[in-house]
Structures are given as structure tokens and as C-alpha cells.
Amino acid sequence: MSNALKDMVKEVALEARELNKSFGGLTATDNLSIEVARGEIHAVIGPNGAGKTTFVNVLSGLLKPDSGEILFAGRDVTLLSAAARVRQGLARSFQITSIFRDFTTLENVMLSVQAGQGHSFRFWAPTARDKSLREPAVDLLERVGLGDRVDVTAGNLAHGEQRQLEIAISLATNPSFLLLDEPMAGMGPEESQGMIDFLKVLKGSYTMLLVEHDMDAVFALADRITVLVYGKAIATGTPDEIRNDAAVRAAYLGEEAV
Amino acid sequence: MEFKNPANILTVMVVGLCAVVPFLAPALGEPFYVIVFARIMIWAIAAVSLNLIMGYGGMISFGHAVYLGIGGYTIGILAFHGITSAWVQWPLAISTCALISLIFGAISLRTRGVYFIMITLALAQMVFFLSVSAERYGSDDGLNILARSDFGVSFFDLNDKLTMYYTIFGFLLASVFVSWRLIHSRFGAVIRAAKSNDTRVQAVGLSTYTYRLTAFVIAGVMCGIAGLLQANLENFVSPDMMNWPRSGELIFMVVLGGMSTVFGPVTGAFVFLMLSEILSTWTIHWHVIFGPFLVLLVIFARGGIAGLLTPGRTRE
């Protein structure tokens, strides 16, 4: 198959078309379009206040866009709730760790496994003895490196461990697509490297949109990068293209990474 | 479950006491305590139901007593019109509570925090004022119920004191057991998780609204059962049983006993009502002692009685 033909059949996993979102007078997302191909890691970078988290919130359904549309696996999901999008396979993680702090690590993931198994209108059987919840949850915790922390209350985990749990909760819903909002936020260099390695393992099994501040992580992981400034995409391309883009250097990379 | 911790021992003692009071109280020359305990158990059922949504679900309903009223008035109004069969009264009381709590929940659960508290209060007061204005059914004087619910069988007659008492006792045990099962089920996990982090529950693919609403209806029905028992016990219903101070007392019983503990509301109801009973025999100004006591308990025992008696456990 020729390269041109490959590109033509390249499947688009997630597409945003001309999204707009403003808060009062502040335009957080400005006519933003993006295409994420199946299987790739697509990074979104930008200075503070560029509207990265707003973008993730709009894509995941926590915020409704003022205009524009979102297609996931070819289907228009713009009007679907956050929960309904997750059920279609579009999972997300949060920049500010969002876990159930008074649940144990295992219970956190079990809830997510349970959600992936359909409705939870089951009122009688105790979950603690439910192998169909427990086993996948334990497996997943072992995969993210929390296998020996299953019975610890999540609020008592170290920050890095909570970030790992955050990812485990997202993975437990059986997604095909991961929206990762700064998975390395607040991590030390060693923990960050661990997370980069883990995301490399996930690559291939999941399509990912990765919002990240850590440039080493972005250039180590991303197939393509979109640069956001004031809610606008000023460039999209491969890591090399982005590194050498004059507008990007001026707007963003110039300060830290030339 | 830990049976060695003092909070659970207290609960077992309270439940055990409830079980033997009909024999113990007359033997001690205090037969009056049989009805006191029957009342306490009814309040305990209502408190257990409130704890489901408030303690585990974080939904602070300030109008929960309305379901006592609706359950009670369904019995009262049907009896007033000569319909005393329990087979008609009880299903009707339960389905009326289910319907009203579905409507009230659907409205109030669109809000959070203080707004939720105010809307549940407003909706409940609406029903309260409706009952006050219902002249046919006694307005604020209330409505006497001339005959208790009739099951149509000789071996189960609520006019028999022991049958009445142990029916209430049975419902109390059932309400505790049902709430224990609910809380530890998949459904309960969603409710508890939504209290802790609603956004995260949605982000794993569950619509929290539907689950919260279901819990709200279950709690409404359970409290409605307490109401229909109260109507039968007292042979009387009045608007006062669903006025807002009753809802406040229910909240207090739950907090006092220990929120989000299965048995907490039972001990909470017991301590709250026994204290007011005992203090009021000492002096007519008993509120002067009761009020500060409750305030101190909330300040110094944030987990309620269960928290106070459970070593090493801290609750928010």
C-alpha cells in the first residue's frame, strides 16, 4: 500500500470541528479544530492559560461548547453527557487528582470496573465479595504499579501514587481513547519517567490526547503535537516540525526549550 | 463487621433493650415505657432512612419528615373514608411516598449544597401547609384514626399491643438490614462515591443524578413506612408530624448517632428521645440543658456517638 493510500484510510478516532467556548468575556477555546488518528499520541501543549484544560473538559463533556462539534469514532457526541461519552470509550484523567479519597485504592478501581460493566442498579449483593469486580481491579492496579497498595485509603497515598491511581481509574472503564490532562502534574523527575514509560506501554492499545507541561515527556511520547495559545491552535505537526516552527518558538518554546 | 467496638456494643444493647421492653417495663412498674420505645423505634426507622441519603449520599434533606406525614395521612384519610384494610392502605401509602419523593427528588437534586437544603425544606412545607388547610381532615387539630390498619386475619391484629410493638421492631430491624445491604452493594458504592467526588463518578461513565434520585425515593419510602406505623401507633395524625422542626430533629438524630454508620441513626434516635424524655420529667425548662448538650456533642464528637466510641476512627 502506498503512503498516500495509507493516509487516506487512516482512521480518525476523535475529531473536534471549530469548537468555541467562552466564559464571560474570556475566550478559552477559539475556533479550535483537531484530528486525532487512531493509535497515535497527540499532545496538546501551550503556555498557562492557553485553554488546555477547558479543551479537555469540552471534549470529555464536562463543559458544553458554545458552538462546534465533536466526533468520536465517527459519531457526533457533542450533545452527549460526560458519562455517556465514557460509555462510548472516551475516558479521561484529571489534572488535579480526582479520586475517591475515603475509598481504598482497590475500591476506587472497583467502582470504575463496575461502571464499565453496565448499569449499577444492583441493590443487594455486596461488592466486597464480587470477583468480577475485584479481579480486574487488582490486575489493573498491578499493571500501574500499585499492586501492594490495594488496601490503603486513597487519600493516604503519596502524590505520585495518586497520579497512578488516577490513570488506573480511567483505564478500568475499558476505554479505546484516553484524554490525559497533565498526568505528570506535580511529579518528581523519577516519577515522571515512570509515567512516561507506562504511557509508552499503553501506546498501541489506546489512542491518547495528552495535555502536558513537561516538554521532555511530550517530545518523548507524542506522534503529533498541537500548540494552543489563547485558545487557538497556532500549529499542528510532528515533534520535529513543532520544534522548528517559528511561530511556536516565538509564542511558547522560545522561553524555555530552544 | 467489628462487634468488639463499643459503638456496636451500644447498638446491640439498644436493639436488645427494644426487644425486651414490652416485658421488662411492666415488670419494673413503668409500662409507659413500652409506648416510649415504640415511638423511638419509629423515629429510628425514619433516621435510618435519612442516613441513607444524608450520611452516605451527602444529600442533606431538610424536609425528610414530610414522608412521615404523607405515610401517616394516607392511613388517616383512608380510615376517615372507612377504608381500613391494610392491603389497601399500606401499598397506597408506600406508592404515594414513592411518587412524591420521585417528584421532589427530581426537582431538588438538580441543585447542590444550601440550595438543596432550602428546596427540600420548601417542598416539604408546601405539603405541611396543604395539611393545615385541609379542613375536612382536621386542619392543624389533626385527624383521629378510629381503627388501625386491618390485615383481615385473627393472628395478626395491630390492636394487640404486642403485635403492634413487634411489628415496629421488625420494621426497624428490616430497615437497618436493608440499608446495610444497599450501602455495600454496587448501587451503594455509586451513592457513596458520588458523595465523595461527583465529577469523577460521571467521568467513569455513570449518571449520578439517576442514582441519587433512586436513593432519594428509597429513603422516602422507608420514611413513609415509619409514618404509617406512627399513624397506627398513635391512632392520630397531625400536620405537626411533618413540620420542619421534625425534619431538623431527624437530621440531629443522624448526626448525633454518627453519620454514615449503619447503626448510628438508631442510637442517635434513642439517645435524642430518651434524653428529652428524661430531662422533661426533671424540669419544664429542660431545653436549657438539652440544647447546650447537643451543641457540645456536635462540637466535641464530630463522628457522633459512633465516632466517640470507635477507637482510632476519624470521620470528616
pLDDT digits (tens, 9 = 90+) for A22-38: 998 889 999 999 999 99
- A165/A183 same-domain check: no
- Which residue in this structure is represented by grid cell 491518547? A208
Q: Which residue out of B177, B190, B204 would a mutagenesis test of the A interface target, given it has the greatest number of A Cβ atoms within 10 Å?
A: B204
pLDDT at A258: 41
Taking an 8 Å cut-off on Cβ atoms, the answer to whether A82 and B192 are in contact is no
Tell me which residue of A171, A136, A115, A99 sits closest to B211, measured CA to CA.
Answer: A115
Tell me which residue of A129, A201, A134 sits closest to A167, measured CA to CA.
Answer: A201
- Furthest-apart CA atoms within chain A: distance in Å: 62
What letter does residue A182 receive in the DSSP assignment?
-
Taking an 8 Å cut-off on Cβ atoms, the answer to whether B189 and A172 are in contact is no
Q: Where are the alpha helices (DSSP H) in A11-75?
A: 52-60
- A235/A186 same-domain check: yes
Contacts of B243 (CB under 8 A, 6+ apart): B65, B125, B128
- Here the cell at position A12 is 480518525
pLDDT at A253: 58
Residue-number span of the structural domain to which B218 is assigned = 6-309
From the CA of B196, how many Å to the nearest CA of chain A? 6
Distance of CA B40 to the CA centre of its chain: 10
CA angle A8, A13, A18 (to 5 degrees): 90
Contacts of A246 (CB under 8 A, 6+ apart): none
From the CA of B182, how many Å to the nearest CA of chain A? 5
pLDDT at A172: 95
Between chain A and chain B, how many beta carbons pairs sit less than 8 Å apart?
102
Question: Could you read off the pLDDT tens digit of each residue along chain B, which spans 316 residues?
Answer: 455 677 778 888 899 999 999 999 999 998 999 999 999 999 999 999 999 999 999 999 999 999 999 999 999 999 999 999 999 999 999 999 999 999 999 999 999 999 999 999 999 999 999 999 999 999 999 999 999 999 999 899 999 999 999 999 999 999 999 999 999 999 999 999 999 999 999 999 999 999 999 999 999 999 999 999 999 999 999 999 999 999 999 999 999 888 888 889 999 999 999 998 888 888 888 888 888 888 887 777 777 888 878 765 544 3
Residue in A60, A122, A170 nearest the CB of B186 = A122
Q: Report helix, strand or coil for A254.
A: helix
From the CA of A198, how many Å to the nearest CA of chain B? 21
Kindly list the residues from chain B whose CB atom is less than 8 angstroms away from the CB atom of residue A82: 202-203
Kindly list the residues from chain A whose CB atom is less than 8 angstroms away from the CB atom of residue B203: 60, 62, 82-83, 86, 91-92, 94, 98, 170
How many structural domains are present in chain B? Answer: 1
Whether residue B1 is contained in a domain is answered as no
Sign of the Cα torsion A61, A62, A64, A68 reads negative
Q: Which residues pair with A90 in a beta bridge?
A: A177
**Up-side HSE of residue A90: CA atoms within 13 Å toward CB?**
28
**pLDDT single digits (tens) A191-208:** 899 999 999 999 989 999
Taking an 8 Å cut-off on Cβ atoms, the answer to whether A98 and B206 are in contact is no
Q: What is the mean pLDDT of residues A27-51?
A: 92
- Here the cell at position B98 is 414513592
Whether residue B315 is contained in a domain is answered as no
Taking an 8 Å cut-off on Cβ atoms, the answer to whether B192 and A103 are in contact is yes
Whether residue A15 is contained in a domain is answered as yes
Region of A68 on the Ramachandran plot (φ > 0 left; ψ -120 to 50 alpha; else beta): left
- A122/A168 same-domain check: yes
**pLDDT single digits (tens) B80-133:** 999 999 999 999 999 999 999 999 999 999 999 999 999 999 999 999 999 999
Give the Cα separation of B302 and B316 in Å (integer). Answer: 8
CA angle B183, B248, B124 (to 5 degrees): 85
Tell me whether 0.85 is exceeded by the ipTM.
yes
CA angle B132, B138, B142 (to 5 degrees): 75
Give the Cα separation of A10 and A39 in Å (integer). Answer: 10
Lowest mean pLDDT among A217-231, A243-257, B69-83, B230-244: A243-257
Q: Which residues of B touch A (CB under 8 A)?
A: 181-182, 184-190, 192-193, 196-197, 199-208, 211, 214, 316
Burial of B296 per CB tally in 10 Å (0-12, 13-18, 19+): exposed
Residue-number span of the structural domain to which A128 is assigned = 99-174
- Which of the listed residues A112, A145, A174 is the one where a domain comes to its end? A174
Contacts of A75 (CB under 8 A, 6+ apart): A88
pLDDT at B282: 87
- A158/A201 same-domain check: no
- Which residue in this structure is represented by grid cell 439517645? B271
Task: Say if residues B198 and A62 touch (Cβ distance below 8 Å).
Answer: no
From the CA of A252, how many Å to the nearest CA of chain B? 31
What is the SS3 string spanning chain B? CCCCCHHHHHHHHHHHHHHHHHHHHHHCCCCHHHHHHHHHHHHHHHHHHHHHHHCCCCCCCCCCCHHHHHHHHHHHHHHHCCCCEHHHHHHHHHHHHHHHHHHHHHHHCCCCHHHHHHHHHHHHHHHHHHHHHCHHHCHHHCEECCCCCECCCCCCCCCCHHHHHHHHHHHHHHHHHHHHHHHHEHHHHHHHHHHHCHHHHHCCCCCHHHHHHHHHHHHHHHHHHHHHHHHHHHCEECHHHHCHHHHHHHHHHHHHHCCCCCCHHHHHHHHHHHHHHHHHHHCCCCHHHHHHHHHHHHHHCCCHHHHHHCCCCCCC
- A126/A244 same-domain check: no
Residue in B186, B199, B214 nearest the CB of A114 = B186
Kindly list the residues from chain A whose CB atom is less than 8 angstroms away from the CB atom of residue B205: 83-84, 86-87, 115-116, 173
Taking an 8 Å cut-off on Cβ atoms, the answer to whether A87 and B190 are in contact is no
Residue A158 confidence (pLDDT) above 60: yes
Written as one letter, the residue type at B16 is G
Task: Say if residues A87 and A80 touch (Cβ distance below 8 Å).
Answer: no
pLDDT at A48: 83
Q: Report helix, strand or coil for A97.
A: coil
Whether residue A94 is contained in a domain is answered as no
Taking an 8 Å cut-off on Cβ atoms, the answer to whether B189 and A107 are in contact is yes
The residue of chain B with its CA nearest to that of A125 is B185
pLDDT at A9: 55
- A76/A115 same-domain check: no
- A77/A186 same-domain check: yes
- A20/A139 same-domain check: no
Task: Say if residues B183 and B262 touch (Cβ distance below 8 Å).
Answer: yes
pLDDT at B217: 98
Kindly list the residues from chain B whose CB atom is less than 8 angstroms away from the CB atom of residue A114: 186, 189-190
From the CA of B2, how many Å to the nearest CA of chain A? 16
CATH number of the domain bearing residue A35: 3.40.50.300
Residue A1 confidence (pLDDT) above 50: no
Taking an 8 Å cut-off on Cβ atoms, the answer to whether B189 and A110 are in contact is yes
Region of B235 on the Ramachandran plot (φ > 0 left; ψ -120 to 50 alpha; else beta): left
Residues in chain B: 316
Whether residue B267 is contained in a domain is answered as yes
Tell me which residue of A201, A176, A244, A219 sits closest to A45, measured CA to CA.
Answer: A219
The residue of chain B with its CA nearest to that of A154 is B196
Residue in A125, A169, A173 nearest the CB of B185 = A125
Strand A224-229 versus strand A41-45 pairing type: parallel
- Here the cell at position B268 is 442517635
pLDDT at B316: 38
Q: Which residue out of B185, B186, B198 would a mutagenesis test of the A interface target, given it has the greatest number of A Cβ atoms within 10 Å?
A: B186
CA angle B25, B253, B236 (to 5 degrees): 60
How many structural domains are present in chain A? Answer: 2
Q: Where are the alpha helices (DSSP H) in A10-94?
A: 52-60, 82-87
Give the Cα separation of B306 and B258 in Å (integer). Answer: 5
pTM: 0.91
Residue in B196, B199, B207 nearest the CB of A103 = B196
- A29/A113 same-domain check: no
Burial of A126 per CB tally in 10 Å (0-12, 13-18, 19+): middle
Kindly list the residues from chain B whose CB atom is less than 8 angstroms away from the CB atom of residue A99: 197, 200
Contacts of A43 (CB under 8 A, 6+ apart): A209, A210, A211, A212, A218, A221, A222, A224, A225, A226
- Which of the listed residues A174, A208, A238 is the one where a domain comes to its end? A174
pLDDT at A198: 92
Give the Cα separation of A235 and A36 in Å (integer). Answer: 14
Q: Which residues pair with A43 in a beta bridge?
A: A210, A225
- A31/A135 same-domain check: no
- Which of the listed residues A153, A174, A195 is the one where a domain comes to its end? A174
Region of B162 on the Ramachandran plot (φ > 0 left; ψ -120 to 50 alpha; else beta): alpha
Q: Which residues of A touch B (CB under 8 A)?
A: 60, 62, 81-84, 86-87, 91-92, 94, 98-103, 107, 110-112, 114-116, 120-128, 130, 133, 169-170, 172-173
Q: Which residues pair with A70 in a beta bridge?
A: A16
Q: What are phi and psi of A78, to 5 degrees?
A: -55, -35
Taking an 8 Å cut-off on Cβ atoms, the answer to whether A86 and B182 are in contact is no
